[in-house]
Chains A and B, each alone.
Chain A
Amino acid sequence: MSTTTPRLIAAAAALGASALVLSGCAGSSAAGNDSDDTFSATLVGGVAGDLSYTDTALAGLAQAKDELDVTTKHIETPDAAQGETLLRSAIPTSPDLLLSITLPLDTVVSIAEQYPDQLIALPDQADEGTELPDNVAAYTINVHEGSFLAGVVAGAMTESHVVGAIIGGQAPGLDQFALAYKQGVLAACPDCEVKLSYLNFQFADPALGKSTALDLHSDGADVIFQVAGGTGTGVIEAAKEGGFYAIGVDSDQDSVAPGTVITSMLKRVDANVLALITAAEEGDFASGFTQVGLADGATGLSWDTGSTVFEENAPTEAAAKIPAVKDLVEDFRAQILDGSLEVCDALNAPDSEACAALG
């Protein structure tokens, strides 16, 4: 046995080395993009197929590829700790525009300062008051108004007058969804009870999502809004199985479980990806923060984009309610847009009157 061991290790080492060489090849062929003249954009971050956040960003990237004359690439960061390394490693391939999602802002800023010639765009980045270098542009999506409308839908659809929400963790960025949703529910249904269930930043645990949703349902909740990434797929699964309703988040999740997901609260990272690539390609890359919200179409419901999946698949009784609910949503949307209704923004204005009323 003692003679076979070194040979085996050598074989394994050879295998590992060849894998490295292969990945090296992939890297060098990517660098070759630089030689042609087409505009190239590389998105770093997230994991494809989360049916949520990353997929929205990828949809924007795909749209840019189709509509503009650009080449695009996505580098996944399954492990957040590798994000910085992967973003750095994307720079030598010299894309004309580097898009970054899910990475902490200060990491991106420090990389941007080291490479002042590399344009970096952040399609979804909360404005924490950090000064951005000239080569960085960021969009902040304020989701509270869209979440409010999702709350209106939940409040109007509930039979039990108990609605729930499952939130991945308690943080200002996530409360921007949760508290506005609560406000929306109470606006549509003043005597409704809103149960918010926070997890401990577990965004990839469908089994936990399912358990939490069933627990909320056992307390009477018949509509549950999920703001929990991959954990949320378990929430939708629970709703499908338990015969209650769910509201999707980020992407259009209506067809994940047709007839179960009433609507999805969209966070249009895709629109920002497209806008940033378009601007950079046309040469008017504007550094600094840009705030976008309901008025810009950056947040809203899947219904706004013409989704009718629920109406077509839901039991007739529930589907019959939808036209009235849509009118109600439009009513509130008009009030938000003309400024007569203030929605709680737990991220940027947690001390506002609208938030204080929600406790």
Chain B
Amino acid sequence: MDPIANFFSSEMLHSGIRLTTPILLGAIASALSSRAGVLNLAIEAKMLVGAFVGLVALDASGSTFTAILAAFLAGAATGGLMAGAHRLGVDLIVFAIGLNMLALELSVYLMRVLFGGTGVWTPDVETLGDIDIPLIGSIPFLGDLLSGYNILVYLAFAAAIAFTLFFRYRPGRHLLAIGEAPGAAAAAGIAVPRYQTTSLVMAGGLAAVGGAFLTVGELGLFARGMTDGAGWIAVTAALLAMNRPGFLIPASLLFGFSDAFAIRLQSTTDLPQVVVQLLPFLATLVVLGFVGYRAMRAAATLGMPKRPRGAARPPQPATSTAGT
């Protein structure tokens, strides 16, 4: 029992949740875009934009709220750019790769020109404070898991839950329809372009807040390419969750905790280093195998990812049973 308690130390849980937060926000952004029928590979770019703009705004205003808002707006603008390109019929995959490269180099360029830091910029700023939840914070295991993070961590998980609930309402259902069959949705009178634009703008904002979490929430510094692939991991997490809102949190936790586990395993066990680093990937492989198996089963049902729930029921109750 003791080694287990030692392994799941409060610091390990905190590390895992902190590393999960940007991935989760990015994964919501990716899933939201996918549900609108757009493969959004520019999550990494939006995270970097958010990380950079957030820190610049924090340095300028001294207010973390302004910083997060600025990051959200900058990300939303990037998302808007992507939506505009989509309307013009630009290949979004190429566009996204371009955006990723642009964000990486532009952030470094601006950092050098504006702030003189060549590779790392460390302004004198106050990062977000941690919130201790009064009662829950004192419960042994649960308190460590749930209490003592900054506001963005709670916001990320709240966003994931809100995203799940969103699909129980009419706009969410419309979005689902657009993602599955844009032509049919348009024929049914749904404003497809408007939904796609809104989704991309929201996705941009969310991913940027994920980036701002790193600079405004955690580190108070900006380093070249500091998201280090978190945006791509977010895209992968969303794919692993099959873009199902309910699976986004566990999929993100898997990736977020994989590094925390690897760190922790080294300090508590004598397992060889290579094995420790392999474990998270092994876990991912197992989960992907499971997902693949489900997809094969789904293929047997004429390519529908799942059997439409309540298909036998008339359509009106399906949209109004949100509470049940």
Q: Give Cα distance in the complex from A195 to B262, angstroms.
A: 14
Residues of B within 8 A of A133 (CB): none
Q: A207-B219, A218-B9, A218-B11 are in contact. Are A49 and B266 (CB under 8 A)?
A: no
Q: Does chain B have a CB within 8 A of A206?
A: yes
Q: Give Cα distance in the complex from A47 to B10, angstroms.
A: 36
Chain B: minimal CB distance from A19 (Å): 12
Residues of A within 8 A of B122 (CB): 256
Asked if B277 contacts A49 (CB within 8 A), the reply is no
For B223, give its contact among A198, A200, A217, A230 (CB under 8 Å).
Answer: A230
Q: Does chain A have a CB within 8 A of B152?
A: no
Asked if B263 contacts A197 (CB within 8 A), the reply is yes
Nearest opposing residue in chain B for A52, CB measure: B119
Q: Does chain B have a CB within 8 A of A42?
A: no
Q: Give Cα distance in the complex from A197 to B88, angstroms.
A: 49
Chain A: minimal CB distance from B292 (Å): 24
Stretch of A1-9, A139-147, A312-320 at the chain-chain interface: A1-9
Q: Give Cα distance in the complex from A35 to B262, angstroms.
A: 55
Chain B: minimal CB distance from A38 (Å): 25
Q: Does chain A have a CB within 8 A of B46?
A: no
Residues of A within 8 A of B119 (CB): 47-51, 54-55, 230
Q: Does chain A have a CB within 8 A of B24?
A: no
Q: Give Cα distance in the complex from A198 to B265, angstroms.
A: 11
Residues of A within 8 A of B228 (CB): 202, 204-205, 207-208
Asked if B223 contacts A206 (CB within 8 A), the reply is yes
For B219, give its contact among A1, A197, A204, A206 (CB under 8 Å).
Answer: A206
Contact with A along B199-242 (1 / 0, CB 8 A): 00000000000000010001111011110100000000000000
Q: A1-B88, A207-B19, A211-B259 are in contact. Are A216 and B221 (CB under 8 A)?
A: no
Please give the number of chain B residues whose Cβ is less than 8 angstroms from any Cβ of chain A in the complex: 41
Chain B: minimal CB distance from A333 (Å): 30
Residues of A within 8 A of B225 (CB): 78, 204
Asked if B267 contacts A233 (CB within 8 A), the reply is no
Asked if B118 contacts A49 (CB within 8 A), the reply is yes
Asked if B267 contacts A219 (CB within 8 A), the reply is yes
Asked if A197 contacts B266 (CB within 8 A), the reply is yes
Q: Does chain A have a CB within 8 A of B74?
A: no
Residues of B within 8 A of A207 (CB): 18-19, 22, 214, 218-219, 226, 228
Residues of B within 8 A of A208 (CB): 19, 228, 259
Q: Give Cα distance in the complex from A206 to B263, angstroms.
A: 15
Q: Which of A170, A207, A217 has the most B CB atoms < 10 Å from its CB?
A: A207
Asked if A212 contacts B223 (CB within 8 A), the reply is no
Chain A: minimal CB distance from B242 (Å): 26
Q: Give Cα distance in the complex from A167 to B150, angstroms.
A: 28
Q: Does chain B have a CB within 8 A of A123?
A: no
Asked if A197 contacts B267 (CB within 8 A), the reply is yes
Asked if A214 contacts B15 (CB within 8 A), the reply is yes
Q: A4-B88, A170-B274 are in contact. Are A218 and B260 (CB under 8 A)?
A: no
Residues of A within 8 A of B112 (CB): 49
Q: Does chain A have a CB within 8 A of B174?
A: no
Q: Does chain B have a CB within 8 A of A237?
A: yes
Q: Does chain A have a CB within 8 A of B273?
A: yes
Q: Give Cα distance in the complex from A195 to B263, angstroms.
A: 11
Q: Give Cα distance in the complex from A215 to B267, angstroms.
A: 9
Residues of B within 8 A of A (CB): 9-12, 14-15, 18-19, 22, 87-89, 104-105, 108, 112, 117-120, 122, 214, 218-221, 223-226, 228, 259-260, 262-264, 266-267, 273-274, 277
Q: List the 6 shortest-distance A-B pairs measured between CB atoms, nearest first.
A: A49-B119, A49-B118, A218-B11, A205-B228, A211-B15, A48-B118
**23 cross-chain CB contacts under 8 A:** A5-B88, A49-B119, A50-B120, A51-B119, A78-B105, A197-B267, A198-B266, A206-B214, A207-B18, A207-B19, A207-B218, A208-B19, A208-B259, A211-B18, A211-B260, A212-B263, A215-B260, A215-B264, A230-B223, A233-B221, A233-B223, A234-B219, A237-B221
